[in-house]
Amino acid sequence: MADTAARLYLITPVLEDASFAPQLAEACATGAVAAVLLRLAPADERTLINQVKALGPAAQDNGAALIITTDGKADLATVAARAGADGVHIQGDPGLVREWRERLKSERAIGVGGIRTKDDAMTLGEAGVDYLLFGEPRRDGSLPSLESVAERVAWWAEIFETPCVAYAPALEAVETLAATHAEFVALGDAVWSHPDGAAAGVKAAADILARQEASR
């Protein structure tokens, strides 16, 4: 079980070009972001590599790890290696996890989402992932209940050593998910659509996590 405060993990909208870089840099410049999941629209490998190279510094130069994902058929392992990303993220597929673990060795992180059951989570953990993401929006945009996500994350954090990420659909959910002892709390629209800007969204979430840690 994690004994330290959860850290922030940001999930971008699906991006088709590098125009999101200033907003990403604004969020990461706070120094409170541990990792960014860059969601890339389907494209050929060359386009994706160029896109990651253009967007990456906004996160990496501010101390955040850069993880990439896409729904397209491009070879993300190759894209990550050539573009300098810190890791890749895939939807629950133990076979693909094992293949990429073999190819990427320990040089880059492998994260996984789209986890439906506890059995799936355990299988993926055994396949060699570096973290599991629970509670993110489904493909149709719907969300599992906060209660079910908190229960699943608390179960995982209590028993297993592989880190987990808990997705918070709103800032109001951060405290509940941090209390599960997840290593990371993920935010998406709650940061990017914050009325005072992305940096304000990050700072608000970081303040909640700091208060949570102080109360332990």
pLDDT digits (tens, 9 = 90+) for 42-82: 999 999 999 999 999 999 999 999 999 999 889 999 999 99
pLDDT of amino acid 1? 43
Distance between CA atoms of 49 and 38, rounded to whole angstroms?
12
- Pick from 124, 82, 132, 71: nearest CA to 104: 82
- Specify whether the CB–CB gap between 33 and 10 falls below 8 A: yes
Give SS3 for 197.
Answer: coil
Is the model's pTM score more than 0.85?
yes
pLDDT digits (tens, 9 = 90+) for 6-52: 999 999 999 999 999 999 999 999 999 999 999 999 999 999 999 99
| pLDDT: which is higher, 43 or 4 | 43
Distance between CA atoms of 184 and 166, rounded to whole angstroms?
6
> In whole angstroms, how far apart are CA 54 and each of 4, 18, 58, 71, 74?
33, 6, 8, 20, 18
Neighbour tally for 68: CB within 10 Å: 25
Count Cα atoms within 13 angstroms, Cβ side, for 174. 29
All structural domains of the chain, each given as residue ranges with its CATH number in brackets, are 7-214 (3.20.20.70)
**144 has a pLDDT exceeding 50:** yes
**181 has a pLDDT exceeding 60:** yes
| pLDDT: which is higher, 211 or 197 | 197
